[in-house]
Amino acid sequence: MPEIFFTGKNGGTNAFTVILHFNDINQLNGILSLVNEAFDKAYWELKKKS
């Protein structure tokens, strides 16, 4: 699983650091998709609440 850390805020922009752990470069696309989906889901969840 990726490690995701909140690393900064500048106005309305939040910055995150994502550390990926994998043994085979062929896993990279799947892991990146997982991370992108998680951020996308979080964005829309927060957008619904505001």
Task: Give, for all 50 residues of the chain, the pLDDT tens digit.
Answer: 789 999 999 998 999 999 999 899 999 999 999 999 999 999 999 889 87
- pLDDT score recorded for residue 2: 85
Q: Who's near 22: CB < 8 A, 6+ residues apart?
A: 28, 31
DSSP 1-50: --EEEEEEEETTEEEEEEE---SSGGGHHHHHHHHHHHHHHHHHHHHHH-
Kindly report the pTM of this predicted structure: 0.73
CA separation, residue 30 to residues 6, 10, 16, 47 (Å): 22, 30, 19, 26
- pLDDT score recorded for residue 44: 94
What is the token pair recorded at 15?
């910055």
